[in-house]
Structure 1
């Protein structure tokens, strides 16, 4: 069963270096026990523009399909490693971070300011990378379903 309350943030564009990364997209999904719907925002930066465009909040029904996707995402994140030290390296190679918080899981990759170079003491296996890609695809599917 997915968590009743959670907050999720996916950022595409986390690889930096000397300068901080420029996000290409930031998606957020939040669920509150008192709300029958999920709150979704999607801010994207059109190619060739310097900043993200503001996104209007949307909602997504917490139906059985959405709940199953969130449950799958939650289960995947519980098994995945994160880089150490935080923000050192994009161990999944997708230039994407996910931050997920609920009562039973706090999971973040990519560090608060993206990945600034260096090496991580923790590395992702091929299976970890495949599962992280699935987690990213789940978030994209949920965002696409919002209206």
Structure 2
């Protein structure tokens, strides 16, 4: 097996991004799990509906960049908990629009406040310019 003495996994950008994502999301993940019993996908569906108000599962898949099976399961769990409601399109019965219920809106507002506070704590170790640059570079990487 050929070795590359200049390659160090600790400096491999995908590895670093994964490590940073795990380290930075664990505490917040515990918060939405403890408060609402949600998994990561459910939290992401809730946040997309909170931000965009009315969406289809397909639209959430595209925006969240998640597989339709995971989104479908999350939608079902949130519907079971009465955090969202489903409305069939009058024009196309195959299309289902999702919106947050009052309970879902309350959970969204609560978690949005917690997310903003958590984000501020994460960014407190950076200067405003560093935080802005980090966000800009991460957006660029995410855009592909």
Regarding TM over 0.5, the answer is: no
User: Rg bigger for which structure?
Assistant: 2
Q: State the TM-score, normalizing by the size of structure 1.
A: 0.28
Q: State the TM-score, normalizing by the size of structure 2.
A: 0.29
Of Structure 1 and Structure 2, which has the larger fraction of its residues in strand? 1
